Structure 1
């Protein structure tokens, strides 16, 4: 059963409408004794570089800005607190927003991070990694990236898994995605679809081997993946009617499936990446984000170790 009782909401000070907060409230209303923590990370380089101010004066200016932002967040929370919802506010001064989020997750032992997302252009992707992608790679708890739209009871949820992998970590992640999907579907009164994708026939093989039958090859691969998916679904007593096997790259196929099924949420896994691989273009989950028409919930393997140390971000 899903347990999202400590929910961290990442606030965007540049947006008037806080869709992450709206979605977090929906999740909190489905739980018992849920607590929302609104986190706002602020940083102004000019405060650090002002030579005319002493260190104490800069500290006072930062404290003043933080105090104003806390008042703003308290004002936003007024109607929710009036309804009896438990809400907390945290404003931190930090130059790297994703680190402040992860540190708060660790220090506060949060069960879920909720953050609004937006389209990232190719140049952004190549030159620097957006906060969303850092969270996908490094956040130890589930991350819910929210887009425009609303959750509806009785809708559809997609759990995207990789049944063909022999990797034990991926297999464990498949189980976690499925279990989380069943729990979320139960909370929302929604239907859960299990989805698995497979690559089509390599073009070079079809060209180099005239006797090669790409149709027969595709059918054999499809049946193999269908068998694996049905076996996985049977373990969780999921009706075969609620399974889908699709040909193509995940980043191309999954958004189309989400649109076709009118899904309100897709659940995926991310194994996390560091070092040189993290500097390259994103993994499947990262590539799907921009194309997906619905919210996306990203899970890590159960034994994932966060590379960011827990330390205080308070001023």
Structure 2
């Protein structure tokens, strides 16, 4: 895996946490990367009648400097930027124009009744950002005494060249980060037999024995694929593999909780057009039900819809 060299820490509406900043500094130090802290506020912030533009600018300068200071103290090359605009538009524009290879972002608060539901800005960033996005939960939990746990979720239900390439990319990222963080690595695939409930219906009319045989074949095929991926990526005994039958988002959440996972790595479809606004992507559903961060990675060459003519979901 190519190491992260240019990391963008996206801070929206002055919302940040100690955990987010500590993670960004650790990643930069481990990869000898440069850090850019970009603070993005929406235009409405400048319309506060109780605060002049000059006063706000002074506050903004001091706030961003305080955020970046620990990274500078650690000897990391740091750049700070201030942008007024719509958050996910501006982050994607920076990634496209300046070639950042990782975005670290704290999930925005979404209300007291469903605080882990991703906002429109964060959903769009996960779906459309050209580079990997490290989305962190909104909490400042103490670092656990145990070694970190990384869970990488693969999809071995198909063996197309594109899916194999994405699975290998996910495994390479997981292995690289596990070595850096001295973390235990777990590899998961959630499988099921598509249309099982209809196989014994009047149109197909398979026997229970035939369905059971299909279940065994499907499980065996997925087990062989996940073992082959782990072996060909040179991970071997360094990872523990899990093959679970069920619904992907639910089983990923369940295993992540039982392992006390710190980071889930998974692919994202990178949908475009109308499909980009359809809620239901596994990565999005998983994030709403876990207490850890997610590193979302797109397939190589995956394109996203240009954002210049779109309306920000939080406008």
Cα distance in structure 2, aligned partners of 1:157 and 1:78: 29
Decide which of 89, 95, 98 is 2:88's aligned counterpart.
Answer: 98
CA contact (8 A) 2:17 2:106 kept: no
Distance 1:207 1:26, change over 3 A: same
Which digits, 9 at most, give the CA deviation of each residue in 1:158-188, with x for residues without a partner?
1211112243322211111111111111111
Which digits, 9 at most, give the CA deviation of each residue in 1:236-278, with x for residues without a partner?
2333662111111111110111122222111111131111211
User: Which range moved further: 195-204 or 108-117?
Assistant: 195-204
- Structure 1 residue 91: Cα displacement: 1.0
Cα distance in structure 1, aligned partners of 2:59 and 2:171: 43
Map of 2:250 onto structure 1:
252
User: Which range moved further: 278-287 or 134-143?
Assistant: 278-287
Which digits, 9 at most, give the CA deviation of each residue in 1:16-68, with x for residues without a partner?
63432221112122122x22211111123385799xxxxxxxxxx65763443
Distance 1:185 1:2, change over 3 A: farther
Q: TM-score scaled to structure 2, two decimals? A: 0.81
Gaps of 5+ in 1: 51-60, 311-315
Map of 1:203 onto structure 2:
197
1:177-192 matched pairs, under 5 angstroms:
177-192=170-185
Equivalent residue of 1:291, what SS? coil
Map of 1:45 onto structure 2:
44
Map of 1:73 onto structure 2:
64
Distance 1:277 1:28, change over 3 A: same
Cα distance in structure 1, aligned partners of 2:185 and 2:213: 31
Distance 1:133 1:237, change over 3 A: same
Cα distance in structure 2, aligned partners of 1:65 and 1:129: 25
Equivalent residue of 1:242, what SS? strand
Distance 1:236 1:37, change over 3 A: same
CA contact (8 A) 1:66 1:91 kept: no
Decide which of 137, 156, 173 is 1:163's aligned counterpart.
Answer: 156
Distance 1:142 1:40, change over 3 A: same
Cα distance in structure 2, aligned partners of 1:254 and 1:102: 28
CA contact (8 A) 1:37 1:87 kept: yes
Map of 1:234 onto structure 2:
231
Decide which of 137, 153, 162 is 2:127's aligned counterpart.
Answer: 137
Distance 1:270 1:88, change over 3 A: same
Cα distance in structure 2, aligned partners of 1:161 and 1:301: 12
Matched, 1:83 2:74: yes
Matched, 1:23 2:38: no
Equivalent residue of 1:107, what SS? helix
Gaps of 5+ in 2: 309-315
CA contact (8 A) 1:254 1:292 kept: no
Cα distance in structure 2, aligned partners of 1:210 and 1:223: 20
Distance 1:256 1:118, change over 3 A: farther
Map of 1:274 onto structure 2:
272
Which digits, 9 at most, give the CA deviation of each residue in 1:129-148, with x for residues without a partner?
62121111111111001123
Cα distance in structure 2, aligned partners of 1:108 and 1:25: 20
CA contact (8 A) 1:163 1:228 kept: yes
Q: TM-score scaled to structure 1, two decimals? A: 0.81
CA contact (8 A) 1:163 1:229 kept: yes
Matched, 1:212 2:211: no
Equivalent residue of 2:295, what SS? strand
